[in-house]
Amino acid sequence: MNDTTVGTAVAASDDAAMAQALAWAARGMYSTTPNPRVGCVILREGRLLAAGFTQPAGQAHAEVEALRAAERAGIDVRGASVYVTLEPCSHHGRTPPCADALIAAGVARVVAAIADPNPLVAGRGLARLQAAGIATRCGVLEAAAREMNIGFFSRMQRGRPWVRMKSAASLDGKTALHDGRSQWITGAAARADGHAWRARACAILTGIGTVVDDDPQLTVRGIDTPRQPQRIVVDSRLQISPSARVLASGGTLIVAAVADAEKEAVLRAAGCEILLLPNPHGKVDLPLLMQELGRRGINELHVEAGAKLNGSLIREGCVDELLLYVAPRLLGDARGMFELAPLATLDEAHDLQFHEVRQIGADLRILARFT
C-alpha cells in the first residue's frame, strides 16, 4: 500500500473513507474486466488498517485482498469498519462470497458506495451482513462509484456494454483531409490521453473502411496496462486483408453479414474469429452485436471508426457517449466525424449533454452523452 501507511489517519467521515476506497478501485482500471473495478479500505477510528482492490478475473476481490493484507501485517480487524466501492458479493462465482469473508473476519460495520446491479447480488450481500449483526450503510459517493463501473452497470442492467465513440477533429469538425491524411490533427498529449481511454475499454471496435484507409493496429501504446483490449472489425463482406495490422497476434473478432467459406478459412488461419450477424439489409446488425458483446462480458466498448460506421452506430442507438478531441485549427472542406442523414427539422436532432470538458495540451477533450 503506497497511497497511505498503516495507522495513518485517512478518514474523518464516511465520504473521506470512501474516496480512499475509490482511489484503490482505480488501481484496477485496466485489469478487472469482466468484473467491476472495486476498492476496499479497512479502518479503525479513522486510521487505516489495510486496503485492497479487485484482482484479475478468477482472483481475489477487493474485500478479500484487504483482509489478506491485514492478516499478512498481523493486524486484527475485528470490530473495524470496512468501506467498499460496490456492495460485497453474496454468491459463489469464480470466488467465494465476499460477504461471508467479512462476517468471518468479525468486522463491525460495512459501508458500500452503491448496490451491486448484478441480479445474483442486488442487495443480498448487504442483507447477509445485516443478518450477521454487522451494521451497514449504502449510497456513499454513489455517483462516483457508478462512473468507475459505468460499463459493468450497463451490462448488468441493459445486457450491452457502455459504448464510447472517440474522434479527433479540427474546430470545424473535420477528421481528415479529402485524401485521408489525418496525422496529426491533435497534439501528443491528446493522443496519449486517447490511449488511456483505449486501455480502460474491454474492446476496441472499428470498421473495414478505417482498416483499408489507415491500417491501424488498435492497440494500447504508451500506457502501462496488463492486457490489450479485444479488437473488433465490422466488415460486412469480409473484405479485410489477412495482412492487416489489426489482425497481428491473433484474437481479432471479425463481424460480417455475408458468409464466405473461403475467406473465413483464411481469416481463421490468421487467428481471427468470424461472427455472422446480418440484418435484413445485408449489413451487420449493430444492436444485436451490442447484445452479443454484453453476453461475452464486454463492459466498455471503445469505438474508433470512420464517418460511415460512426453514423450507423448513432442512428441505430448504439452509442452512449462521445469522446471528442478538438484541435484549435480549421481544415475547411474535408472529411467529417459522422455520416448522418439530413434532418427535416431541428426537432429530429440527436441531443447530447456535456458531461465533461477539459483542456488536454493545446486541445479540448469533450465527453458528451446522448440524452
Q: Which amino acid is at 188?
A: A
Mean pLDDT of the chain: 93
In sequence order, what are the beta bridge partners of 352? 370
Q: Which amino acid is at 157?
A: Q
pLDDT tens per residue, range 191-218: 999 999 999 999 999 999 999 988 999 9
224 is written with which cell numbers? 502501462
Query: Where is pLDDT greater, at 7 or 70?
Result: 70
Q: Of 123-127, 261-265, 342-346, which has the strongest mean pLDDT?
A: 261-265
Find the mean pLDDT for residues 78-97: 88
In sequence order, what are the beta bridge partners of 274? 254
* DSSP for residue 256: E
Find the mean pLDDT for residues 266-278: 96
* Catalytic positions, written as ranges: 63
329 is written with which cell numbers? 485549427
* DSSP for residue 13: S
Dist. CA 306–CA 323, nearest whole Å: 14
pLDDT of residue 6: 58
Q: For the chain, how big is the Rg over CA atoms in Å?
A: 23
pLDDT of residue 2: 43
